[in-house]
Structure 1
Amino acid sequence: MHASTIPTIPTIDLSLWRSGDDRDRDRLATLVDQALGRAGFLLVTGHGVHPDLPAAIRTAARAFFHQPLEVKQPFLAEAVGRYGWSGPGAVATGRAEGLMTPPDLVETWSAAPGPWDTAAGRHEPGLLPRSWPSQPLELRPLVAQYVHAMRVLAGELLEILAVTLRQPLDFFTRHTTRPDWTLTLNWYPAISAVGAPRPGQFRVGPHTDFGTITVLDRQPGKGGLQIHTEDDGWQDAPYDPEALTINIGDLMARWTGDRWRSGRHRVLAPPADATSEELLSLVYFYDCDPDTLVASLPAPIGRVSHPPVTARAYVRSKVAEITLA
């Protein structure tokens, strides 16, 4: 297959990766390598996540987000590295690129693993934040079920990326014995409720993610996801209701010496003819063990040698750049 015939953002069937022969795997590895070099994005099917689970999370999350601000206020995530609810005006994601946009038109609920228990050698049971809303009660157990599925999927994806680079199967996963991860529920309210967007305002401003890989379960919309490539500029992201959207972040791009591109993207504000459109995305950010030193793979795999960075410190420094409140 010639590079010119490979889709910019192909769909990878994970069931074929698991059960296929060496020729199937080589073909899929070529697709992965080319796609991550062009745009930093993939779609994956055969991922094993039943559609009823994200649908149930959306129902529960909307019940929370639709409540008055004073009901949500006790769950406010007050600082970088805290989890829970972030309300209107909390972030301007484009500022990670130096773009001084108005605040993003989004509210979020973020969850993460409990602190690491050194004596027990594992994360503490449960999820952060420690305090969850009593209405709806089902939000926490649904999120717990989903992040378990995401952790398994992320590990498999990292193995595929290692094989694609012709590295040992555990090249990345050996650094995920106690990884940092965050599940963020992004609620994009209707402009009929929050008012017309300001000039230059986005639901999420242009940026690249900061960690290793991101797994996105999204809904299509007129104010939806766009992906940037050098060849095509900004284009609407492809959508398949049976697929999850995968992109790599800055840590993975640095790890590969810029062989692969940290996927640049944005979420548009809805146009004037879509005043009632509201969307809710499930975004799983997967990093690695917090003290992992991420150093660029040398040539011929890598193309640029970046100074090594410590995983958690790098990600948190980037999150601080976009946090407004």
Structure 2
Amino acid sequence: MSATATTPPAGRRHRTPLARREARWAYVFLAPWIVGFLAFQAGPMVASAWLSLTEYDVINPPRYAGLDNYRQLMTDPAVARSLGNTVYYTVLHVPLAMVLSLGLALLLHRVGRWQGFFRTVFYLPVMTPAVAVGILFLLLLNTQDGLINRGLAGLGIEGLSWTTDPAWVMPGIILMSLWSLGSTVIIYLAALQNVPRDLYEAAAIDGAGAWARFRHVTLPMISGAIFFTLVVNTIASLQMFTEVYTMYFGNRQTQGSFSSEAATFYVIHLFQEAFQFLHMGFASAMAWLLFVIILLITLVQVRLGNRFVHYEGDET
């Protein structure tokens, strides 16, 4: 009898009792995550997709409306304005945050034995609750007696209306968002520490100066970390909510004292439609529009990132 006659097909090979037992235990340990995903992510996503096709106010049963909510999205000026604010914030905040984080990481990389202390100091603001950050910067940016305007007055500079002038609301929000750069700084620092020293030595022997070494050695070797933070920070910026809502919409002192249009981000407008006006169907359509926008932007970033990101296994 030939050997091929007794060998089972590749796709139907008999698994050992140990392999079957390991597989069962794997499913047991994965079960909490699977149940949580189906109950708290996949299930609500399917429900919101259905609600986006209805008119639903929580009180009355949903009424099928077809694509009316999506048609309204295309013509609603409030949606366009809030989406414009969000994109404007993202375009300014993400590059600025990445450049500052890389600069701080380069400084930390040269600190030496104090690196652990400063690494902790830079990361501590990340642990601050978002609501506390909003309240803190409401006090710092207060037009009348905020600490920032007091500092400017001490330098002979007239204070700015950070929380009341629509022209300065967005710069104030961007300034606030730079408070929590710590996580990006730590990612860049870890990437810098993994750059082989012999590459710098080889570049120095070839006569490369500091800028040439940074451009041709440092940036390519940490491009993976840069790409990761670009994607993550873009997604987070497009979903900006808690800090801004705390500062401008959740505080009685600021309600009515500024042009709310200047600080209305897309997710804030979504929240208002859902929980203030009870337009759950329309809010669900807004959520799916944001999902599609984030998905498309991320796909473009991944497509472009494959051209510029250097990975350790790539051939040079």
Q: Same fold (TM over 0.5)?
A: no
Q: Computing the radius of gyration over CA atoms, which structure comes out larger, 1 or 2?
A: 2
RCO (CA 8 Å, sep 6+): is it higher in 1 or 2? 2
Q: Which has the higher helix share?
A: 2
Q: Which has the higher strand share?
A: 1
TM-score, normalised by the number of residues in structure 2: 0.23
